[in-house]
Amino acid sequence: MPDSKRDKEEQYFAELELQHRRNLRHKLNQKREEAKKDKSAEPWWHRCPKCGGALVEKKIVDVVVDECPDCKGIYLDAGELEMLLDGAGSKGFLSKLSSSLFGKK
């Protein structure tokens, strides 16, 4: 019986963590869309700070980051690093990250 109670408790906290991540992801997506509307007319908007190439959005472990196809730089908006680090505790995070970055499985 204690195992069943413990399993339910772990499931409850896992669901809370998942909901927290979803809420954070939703807020970041809203901020991203607002920034697009506000800044999209600027000549520097969505440009690589290193080489000036146009950035493209790429999904890495459920986090949308900006990648420069020219110099291969990856740039994070506020809060995205925290989301990636929150995922570091899950099993296989580094393998998921490397497969997302380099297309390996």
pTM above the 0.75 mark?
Answer: no
**Nearest partner of 55 among 44, 69, 43, judged by Cα:** 69
Domain boundaries, the chain: 2-102
pLDDT by residue (tens digit) across 52-64? 888 988 887 777 8
Q: How far apart are CA 76 and CA 28, in angstroms?
A: 11
Q: How far apart are CA 25 and CA 42, in angstroms?
A: 26
Residue 26 tokens read as 């939703």
- Residue-level pLDDT at 105: 46
Helix (H) or strand (E) holding 84: helix 80-86
pLDDT at 91: 54
On the CB side of 67, CA atoms within 13 Å amount to 12
